[in-house]
Amino acid sequence: MTPIHVDTDIQLPEGYSEYEINTDRNIELTFTAKADCDAFVRIINTGKLRIRTYAPRGVKVNYLFWNLSENTLDVDESHEVMGEADVTVAYGEINRADTLRSVHMALREEGARGLLSSASLVDSSKTYNMNVVNYAPHTYGDMKNYAVVLGHGRLMIDAVGKIIKGAFRSESHQTSRALSFEEGQNAVILPELLIDEDDVQASHAMSMGRVDEDALYYLMSRGLSVQQCTSLISQGYLLPITETLNNEELKNKLKEEMERKIGELC
């Protein structure tokens, strides 16, 4: 694990690597991949955070940003994906502090593929502005956001997929799901598709709702407490994010961290 306390330019090594951000400063980080790699970035504490990533032609990169901060996380990100590169950026937000996250993913050259994926257990205020833009032909952009909203949680997701003029035979897709356990909880999801080209494929799917009362009653009838039921249902709802990661080590790391933190919060 590599600690990060100041502005840093990181050349990602081939294979798997871990980083931990723990500082009171405002910092800017740049991640550059030269070969296929996977990066797990744990955020313990930071001031305002700026993240820039670059994936050159043909590389495959998976990022997992795991937020453990007890203070508000204010982060601005941009991810540049070049020709035939494949980049997944996943977020784990299983903490009680507020988050303000602004993300821009640019599919710059033909054949670029990009995915933004998040799993959030919301017991505070989580605001995400997420953009995936197809700038070139034959590019593929996707977003998958999963959230469980608890009693005091407030969730806002503004998800924008954009295909510019000239990016023919490209694709832009979105899936957003939010689950709550009580009435009156605050969750807003705005899926947007901005399409300036005819020969493309684009879609969005969204679901928002409460936990099925019969399912909750069934679990409690087997001797589980409300807290245990909440934890189990939340895990089942959020764990599909792990399937967006291709690296088994990163996938298992996310499962372990998510199960532990959900158990603590619920």
Q: How confident is the model at residue 14 (pLDDT cuts 50, 70, 90)?
A: very high
pTM metric for this prediction: 0.89
Say if residue 182's pLDDT is above 80.
Answer: no
Axis crossing angle, helix 226-238 with helix 213-221, rounded to the nearest 10: 120
Q: What is the pLDDT of residue 215?
A: 66
Say if residue 21's pLDDT is above 90.
Answer: yes
Contact 262, 121 (CB under 8 A): yes
Q: How far is 208 from 147, CA to CA, in rounded Å?
A: 9
Q: How far is 209 from 147, CA to CA, in rounded Å?
A: 11
| Tokens standing for residue 95 | 């903490």
Q: What is the mean pLDDT of the segment spanning 236-240?
A: 75
Residue type at 67?
Answer: N
Give the model confidence (pLDDT) of 121-149 as tens digits.
888 999 999 999 999 999 999 999 999 88
252-258, long-range: CB within 8 Å, 24+ apart, which pairs? 253/40, 253/64, 254/64, 254/66, 254/90, 254/92, 257/66, 257/92, 257/94, 258/92, 258/94, 258/119
> Burial level of 182, CB count in 10 A (0-12/13-18/19+)?
exposed
Domain boundaries, the chain: 2-211
Give the phi and the psi of residue 79 in degrees, each rounded to 5.
-130, 120
Give the model confidence (pLDDT) of 69-80 as tens digits.
999 999 999 999
Say if residue 40's pLDDT is above 70.
Answer: yes
| Matching residue, tokens 């949680």 | 153
Q: What is the pLDDT of residue 85?
A: 98
Give the model confidence (pLDDT) of 210-235 as tens digits.
666 666 666 666 666 766 777 777 77
Q: What is the mean pLDDT of the segment spanning 75-100?
A: 95
Q: How confident is the model at residue 23 (pLDDT cuts 50, 70, 90)?
A: very high
| C-alpha separations of 31 from 13, 87, 143, 170, 177 in Å | 10, 12, 21, 26, 29
**Closest to 160 measured CA to CA, from 148, 173, 171, 170:** 173
Percent pLDDT > 70 in the chain is 91
Contact 152, 139 (CB under 8 A): no
Which residue would you say has higher pLDDT here, 211 or 25?
25
